[in-house]
Amino acid sequence: MSSNFKIKAICEYCRNDFIAKTTTTKYKFSSRAYKARKREQKIQACSDQRGNHKIEHGIAH
């Protein structure tokens, strides 16, 4: 049996109200949150790599 719930929720990404179809929906556009999360991971990985490079060679930039 299916049900047609409409739940008012607040997006964790943009903080705007939206109508969710399930109780576990966190984002209005989950792809935007996913892309932002992946972008941050890439930046962190690049930052970590550069940080390790500086330590290995003793160069402070």
Give the separation between CA 22 and CA 8, rounded to whole angstroms: 10
Does 40 map to a domain? Answer: yes
Residue-wise pLDDT for 7-48, tens only, equals 999 999 999 999 999 889 898 888 999 999 999 999 999 888
pLDDT computed for residue 17 by the predictor: 96
Please state whether the predicted TM-score (pTM) of the whole model is above 0.75.
no
Does 2 map to a domain? Answer: no
pLDDT at residue 1 tops 70: no
Number of structural domains (the chain) is: 1
What is the domain range of residue 22? 7-57
For the CA atoms of the chain, what is the radius of gyration?
20
pLDDT at residue 56 tops 70: no
pLDDT at residue 59 tops 80: no
